[in-house]
A and B are shown apart, each in its own frame.
Chain A
Amino acid sequence: MEFAELIKTPRVDGVVLHRPFMPTVEGTLCLTGHHLILSSRQDTTEELWLLHANIDSTEKRFVGSLGTIIVKCKDLRVIQLDIPGMEECLNIASSIEALSTLDSVSLMYPFFYRPLFEVIEDGWQSFVPEESFKDLESMTDEWRLSEVNKDFSLCPSYPSLLTVPKDIDDESLCKAASFRHGGRFPVLSYYHKKNAMVMMRAAQPLTGTNGRRCKEDEKLINATLCAGKRGYIIDTRTIAVAQQAKARGGGFEQEANYPQWRRIHKAIERSNVLQDSLIKLVEACNDQSHSMDRWLSKLEASNWQSNVKEILTTACLAAQCIDREGASVLVHGTEGTDSTLQVTSLAQIILDPACRTIRGFEALIEREWLQAGHPFQQRCAQSAYSNGKPRSEAPVFLLFLDCVWQILRQFPCSFQFNENLLIMLFEHAYASQFGTFLGNCVAERGKLQLSQKTVSLWSWVNRPQELERFLNPLYEPNNLVIWPSVAPQSLLLWEGVFLRWNRSTKCLDEAYQEMVHIIEYNKELQNKVNSLRRQLAQLETEDSPLQTP
């Protein structure tokens, strides 16, 4: 097969693996088409299986004939391999380099991976748009499912089925699409059952410098307003950035043309800035110096926490407009595939208790990220250790997960899932045996035939055996809207991701186990008491005739 020529040395003995907070392992290093494997061939020590796709960058060093390769992974782990023999080391390094930067998607591991478990529920079929539309239909008849994008020609990054106002015909949709960046005309993102308000998302309108307008676009979004009501347009960019976009043909909705809408500008950073922020943050976390000042100033300079705050604040604003103001909302930035999705998906977590269940959260990711055309392939091509020229990678999805984690920390009993699910999603978005996060949009995934050729992440996660790991023992369904605090004091560094490999989790794991134990023991007792009571009550009724005087 085609990988053989990339693997110059498939096997080296006597390789020593160093990982922080773990004992060193000496063993045999093997390279396969998709994995770097290190095995001591003893049962007692764990083997290392590392997907080449997980490797972000490598560094080589030589001391005499002993070579060292530092492997930096997309999940932020850094490991060190000591390889005897200069030639072996060079060969291994160049093989890893080649295998971890394969260009062709169809050579990726998901196309070769065969699950060792039985697929009970095919994750590719778990969350189809028709199903979520059925839910919507049960609440309102104001919307319809349009097939206008059936062949992805109107908007390549949209799915084939889109939820639009009932009164807007496909022809108008086509016109509105031509007025929006990338053809991303306003579509339904979320319907707030409580007050029938909606959240829509789109890309920026193409007003350009001469203030172009589009009647169909105006009609389309006005169709979502109740009579006499006003709506809010949340532009995730600052007014300055939005102004600048005009020069490149983009822009924002002019009040004159959208008199029923009030526009609010926020300041979520663009993706290239976010990538830089991630790199700086991870650098700060890996800094070995013991200076407190240096840590805090580096953390501050990375701006990561500011980004978290800004995104969360914008999502809260959207949620408040809907729930408190009783207004409908349209969210967009520039392309409508990044900050827009962060805001719409987080707002749903705040508003909709269903999104706080495992199933609902998966559906949310499927709907608001995968179907909505977040370019995962591009954004997750590299992570914090990339030293090449940045192309379009950016931790947009990771920031979303971080924000979810912040809400989870503030409402530890309101989520059915725990932090592990979020970390797992981060890992799989960057490197995975599953096909879920391959491709940039629905159209691409169709072309790649992912649903036939690869296994869905959801097929695996939703197995009862796996789910257990992701369940939050403190969960009690909470039907309220949950409003997180976005004060800097309330937003924490997500240690589970950023300090994950720099700390021992023994004490934290112990605490988690203890928490699980406390709750399980309580449930066990409850069951015991209940069944005893039932028994007693039964005995009681049997006895009662005797008892009556």
Chain B
Amino acid sequence: MEHIRMPKVENVRLVDRSSSRRIKVGTLYLTATHTIFVGKGSEDRCELWVLHSLVCNVVKHKASQSGYPLLIHCKNFQVMQFIISQESDCHNVYISLSRLSRPEKYEELYCFSFNPNVDKAEREHSWDFLDLKAEYSRMGLPNKLWHVTPINREYRVCDTYPADLFVPQSVTLPVIIGSSKFRSRGRFPTLSYYCKENHATICRSSQPLSGFSARCLEDEQMLQAIMKSNPGSRFMYVVDTRPKLNAMANRAAGKGYENEDNYCNIKFQFIGIENIHVMRNSQQKLIEVSALRSPSMGEFLMGLENSDWLRHIKSIMEAGIFISKAVAEEGVNVLVHCSDGWDRTAQVCSVASVLLDPYYRTLKGLMVLIEKDWVSFGHKFSHRCGHLDGEAKEVSPVIDQFLDCLWQLMEQFPCYFEYNEKFLINIHNHIYSCHYGNFICNSQKERKDLCIKEKTHSIWPHLWENKLDFMNPLFKPDQSQNQGLLRPRTAPYCFKYWRRLYNRFDRELHPRQSELDCLMTVKEETQQLEEDLALCEQVEHQIFNYHPHKSKQALWSLPLDTSLANTPQDYIGGFIGGAPNVFTLQQGERESAELCLFGDKPKSSDADNSDQESGVADFSSHSSGEESLPSEDSVKDPDSDETGPNRA
């Protein structure tokens, strides 16, 4: 609280980015956890809640006639522009927000103060929702080839690894310890995915400390044991996901990659995914492109190309495909590593797993996969997501890229995923929101030390409760099972810009009617009809078989109005942006229309564009018409359903 210099500012204007003419006037509140904007007036009443932990940066712009603009960029790609009339107010808000959005200690994060109305037992239970042990036993482990080693129970061998790790039965403790000493940060090769059908596995580690010539017998034995744990194969792949040049440069620092001469029967392969710094810059450029105001087609496409984002997505996907094919088609074990084995390695292992195993294409399966490959294996969420004020160079959209890969796959295989893109977007939001404890800290050990399970809540049961919103109506479970290995295409045009994520809050850019929502409504209605039908049949049965007049009661208790209430008209009305918000050729535009007579054309077409894009009504439609728009992507903070003032 001590950071809030100014809890409330009146007469603040919220500017709609798609059209600067649309402005809401209201009051801005700063609380310990949220920035809240409440619009004035009954007609354009709107509420906007933004968690401080979602704020990426706050920028003051040059004063304009109307006041002092303050721009807030969020980690979920929301951008808000406020105009504050007093310079001192603006400055105070700026200073307060800058501090509030950069917490210095974990304890300041929202998840530690988030206190929904559940008791202790229930909270503890929420952490049991996912059980990685159950996941390994779903894979068929432990078995006679693989078992859990107790060696890292106290996180002594590797403090960034989980306590329970699977290694080949044949591997002895000294071999593990030896191998871990030969790997960056002690991250020795361990199992990530096991394919029951052919015993092939995906293993992961960090880079070996090979330098120019060093070798380690235990590490070689370790790889040999992994190779042998797959009785059907005569060799294994070692996939280094880095560009060869980067890996070679690492040798000078005493790190590097496996020498094929020293390891028996390995096939070594570079894949060339760029490092976190390249990815951070790439996403920065992508975000700039996505936030351009009425760009031309050329600006947008060139910007997209220059960002290189899709090229990176493609390279990650290709790595996943390579590994999934090695496992499913060749039946060969694969060891994946990058430098530390917590970024590219996590991406690639999890993409390969999704391609291989239909389970990870279900809601529960994706949760498990993220919990396993990312959370438990020490993807550094705190650093990569910038949860705390610290090294900007540690921030990188590594997990965004994984989610992006999933979305690309869903585009190619619309029937094979149980979840829809809202699920991915929700997960993305919560990874950054610090609303739940799951994605706090950089490793399991840190979470344990911080008592995350005792002090915060888990996201997964919450998502599970809302699973109806996240279901893909086109999902065909049987089909997906049969499909087994997904073989996505990787021609450049198969990779697309994920508008729903990067322009998530620019509602006017999205289709005005959503096929997904439409089908979800129909499916829901179908379910209701099925119940009605059963009821009707039951009643009919009664009428014909028992005393006809006695059935009257039952008959009238039928939900007679459901079919009416559920007629398709329902789903159509809500989504239509029937009219552009304000299109009257207003003063500015009249001028530009005139101007073009004198050859000054481009500006006028821009002005026109922004108007065309103004299809759907804006802020007000949301707070007043919750039911009309099931998607929670809107001006309102998506979490507000649980974080309203009375609950927080």
- Say whether B549 contacts A514, CB under 8 Å: no
Cross-chain contact B609 with A483 (CB below 8 angstroms) = no
CB-contact partner of B609 in A313, A481, A493, A533, under 8 A? A313
- Asked if A324 contacts B526 (CB within 8 A), the reply is no
Chain B positions within 8 Å of A290 at CB level: 490-492
Partner-binding segment picked from B220-228, B372-380, B529-537:
B529-537
The distance from the CB of B250 to the nearest CB of chain A, in whole angstroms, is 26
What is the chain B residue whose CB lies nearest that of A240? Answer: B599
Are B414 and A507 in contact, with the CB atoms below 8 A?
A: yes
Binding stretch for chain B, among A155-163, A385-393, A423-431, A522-530: A522-530
| Contact residue among A295, A310, A410, A547 (Cβ-Cβ distance under 8 Å from B549) | A547
Q: How far is the CA of A542 from the CA of B548 in the complex (A)?
A: 10
One digit per residue, 1 when the CB lies within 8 angstroms of any chain A CB and 0 when it does not, for chain B 92-110 equals 0000000000000000000
Residues of A within 8 A of B526 (CB): 518, 521-522, 525
Does B601 sit within 8 A of A, measured CB to CB? Answer: yes
Assuming A489-B509, A529-B529, is B414 touching A296 (CB within 8 A)? no
A488-B290 Cα distance, complex, nearest whole Å: 10
Q: Check if B512 is an interface residue, CB within 8 A of chain A.
A: yes
From B473, B539, B549, residue with most partner A Cβ within 10 Å = B549
Which of A115-123, A197-205, A258-266, A395-403 touches B? A258-266
- Min CB distance A474 to B, Å, is 6
Cβ of A481 and Cβ of B578 under 8 Å apart? Answer: yes
A536 and B585 in contact, given A306-B296, A313-B612, A320-B611 (Cβ under 8 angstroms): no
Distance (whole angstroms) from the CB of B292 to the closest CB of chain A:
9
Given contacts A264-B604, A532-B537, contact A514 B492 (CB under 8 A): no
Stretch at the interface among B178-186, B297-305, B352-360: B297-305
Asked whether, in the complex, the Cβ of A526 is within 8 Å of the Cβ of B613, the reply is no
Q: Tell me the smallest distance from the CB of B320 to a CB of chain A, in Å.
A: 16
On whether A510 and B479 interact (CB within 8 A), knowing A320-B611, A503-B489, the answer reads: yes
> Do the beta carbons of A525 and B529 come within 8 Å of each other?
yes
B290 CB to closest chain A CB (Å) equals 7
- The answer to whether residues A488 and B305 also contact, given A264-B593, A313-B608, A547-B549 and a CB cut-off of 8 A, is no
Which residues, 303 to 330 on A, are CB-close (under 8 Å) to B? 303, 305-306, 308-310, 312-313, 316-317, 320-321, 323-325
A528 to B536, CA, bound (A): 10
In the complex formed, the residue of B with least CB distance to A491 is B297
Asked whether B36 is an interface residue with its Cβ less than 8 Å from the other chain, the reply is no
A255, chain B: closest CB distance, angstroms: 7
Shortest C-beta distance, B310 to chain A (Å), equals 5
The one of B300, B513, B530, B601 in contact with A410, judged by C-beta atoms closer than 8 angstroms, is B513
B511 pairs with A409, CB closer than 8 A = yes
Question: When the two chains form their complex, are residues A532 and B497 in contact, meaning their CB atoms are under 8 A apart?
Answer: no
Q: How does the 8 Å CB contact mask read for B310-334 relative to A, with 1 for contact and 0 for none?
A: 1100100000000000000000000
Majority-rule SS of B interface residues: helix
| Given known contacts A265-B596, A317-B608, A490 and B499 CB-to-CB distance under 8 angstroms | yes
> Which chain B positions have C-beta within 8 A of A312?
612
**A488 touching B599, Cβ below 8 Å:** no
CB pair A526–B563 under 8 Å, yes or no, is: yes
Interface hits, B478-517 → A, CB 8 Å? 479, 489-495, 497, 499, 503, 506, 508-515
Shortest Cβ distance from residue B425 to the other chain A in the assembled complex, whole angstroms: 16
With contacts A320-B583, A476-B572 known, is A530 near B563, CB below 8 A?
A: yes
Chain B, Cβ-Cβ closest to A294: B492
Across the two chains, which residue of chain B brings its CB closest to A321?
Answer: B585
Q: Across the interface, name the chain B residue whose C-beta is closest to A323.
A: B579
Q: Contacts A507-B414, A515-B474: A487 and B613 contacting too (C-beta < 8 A)? A: yes
A542 nearest in chain B by CB position: B548
Does A223 sit at the interface, judged by CB under 8 A? no
- Known contacts: A292-B492, A483-B579, A543-B548. The answer to whether A313 contacts B605 by CB under 8 A is yes
One of A239, A499, A518 near B493 (C-beta < 8 A): A499
Q: How many residues of B contact A (CB 8 A)?
A: 96
Question: Is A546 an interface residue, CB under 8 A from the partner?
Answer: yes
User: Which residues on B sit within 8 Å (CB–CB) of A487?
Assistant: 294-295, 508-509, 609, 613
The reply to whether B297 and A306 form a contact with Cβ atoms under 8 Å apart is yes
Q: Are A490 and B509 in contact (CB under 8 A)?
A: yes
Query: Is B271 interfacial (CB-CB < 8 Å)?
Result: no
- Complex interface: stretch among B8-16, B208-216, B552-560: B552-560
On chain B, the residues within 8 Å of A483 by CB distance are 512, 577-580, 612, 614-615
Q: Is the CB of A532 within 8 A of B533?
A: yes
Inter-subunit contact A536/B493 (CB<8 Å): no
Q: Which residues of B contact A413 (CB under 8 A)?
A: 513, 515, 518, 571-572
Docked complex Cα distance between A499 and B311 (Å): 20
B16 to chain A, nearest CB (A): 14
A502 within 8 Å of B by Cβ? Answer: yes
- Asked if A305 and B612 sit within 8 Å, CB to CB, the answer is no
- The chain A residue sitting closest to B511, CB to CB, is A410
Residue B525 at the chain A interface, CB threshold 8 Å? yes
Chain A residues whose C-beta falls within 8 Å of the C-beta of B509 in the assembled complex: 485, 487, 489-490
Chain B: minimal CB distance from A296 (Å): 4
Compute how far the CA of A207 lies from the CA of B571 in the bound complex, rounded to whole angstroms. 52
Q: Is the CB of A480 within 8 A of B530?
A: no
Known contacts A255-B597, A485-B508: does B576 contact A536 (CB below 8 Å)?
A: no
CA distance A350 to B549 in the complex (A): 55
Mark B573-600 against chain A: 1 for CB-CB distance below 8 A, else 0. 0001111100111000010011011110
B310–A292 touching, CB < 8 Å: yes
User: In the bound complex, do residue B615 and residue A525 qualify as a contact, i.e. CB atoms below 8 Å apart?
Assistant: no
Would B569 and A476 count as touching, CB distance under 8 A?
Answer: yes
Q: Which residues of A contact B308 (CB under 8 A)?
A: 292-293
* Interface hub of B493, B558, B571, B577 (most chain A Cβ within 10 A): B493
Chain A residues with CB under 8 A of B314: 292
B568 at the interface (CB under 8 A from A): yes
- Closest residue of chain B to A266 (Cβ to Cβ) is B605
Asked whether B464 is an interface residue with its Cβ less than 8 Å from the other chain, the reply is no
Interface pair B301/A300, CB less than 8 Å apart? yes
Taking CB atoms, residues of chain A closer than 8 Å to B530 are 525
Q: A309 to chain B: which residues have CB within 8 Å?
A: 296-297
Asked if residues B578 and A511 are in contact (CB atoms below 8 Å), the reply is no
Chain B 626-638: CB-based contact to A (< 8 A → 1; otherwise 0): 0000000000000
Contact A488 B414 (CB under 8 A): no
A535: Cβ under 8 A from any B Cβ: yes
B609 x A536 contact (CB < 8 A): no
Check B563–A267 contact: CB distance below 8 A. no
How many Å from the CB of B431 to the closest CB on chain A? Answer: 23
Would you give the shortest CB distance from A93 to chain B, in whole angstroms?
30
Question: Is B522 an interface residue, CB under 8 A from the partner?
Answer: yes
> Distance in Å from the Cβ of A121 to the closest Cβ of chain B?
29
A66 to B346, CA, bound (A): 51
Q: Which of A255, A303, A525 has the most CB of B within 10 A?
A: A525
- Partner among B489, B499, B608 whose Cβ is within 8 Å of the Cβ of A489: B499
Partner of B305, one of A296, A510, A536, A546: A296
> What are 15 A-B contacts with C-beta separation under 8 Å?
A239-B599, A292-B310, A295-B492, A316-B608, A320-B583, A411-B512, A411-B513, A412-B514, A414-B576, A476-B571, A480-B576, A483-B579, A489-B503, A507-B413, A547-B552
Listed in ascending order, the chain A residues whose CB lies under 8 Å from chain B are 238-240, 243, 255, 262-267, 285, 290-297, 299-300, 303, 305-306, 308-310, 312-313, 316-317, 320-321, 323-325, 409-414, 474, 476, 478, 480-491, 493, 495, 499, 502-504, 507-508, 510-511, 514-515, 518-519, 521-522, 525-526, 528-530, 532-533, 535-536, 539-540, 543, 546-547
- Across the A-B interface, give the 8 residue pairs with the lowest CB-CB distance, nearest first: A295-B492, A488-B300, A480-B578, A296-B305, A511-B414, A300-B301, A292-B311, A306-B297
Question: Other than the known A478-B572, A528-B533, A546-B549, what 5 A-B pairs have Cβ atoms closer than 8 Å?
Answer: A295-B493, A488-B295, A488-B297, A488-B299, A522-B526
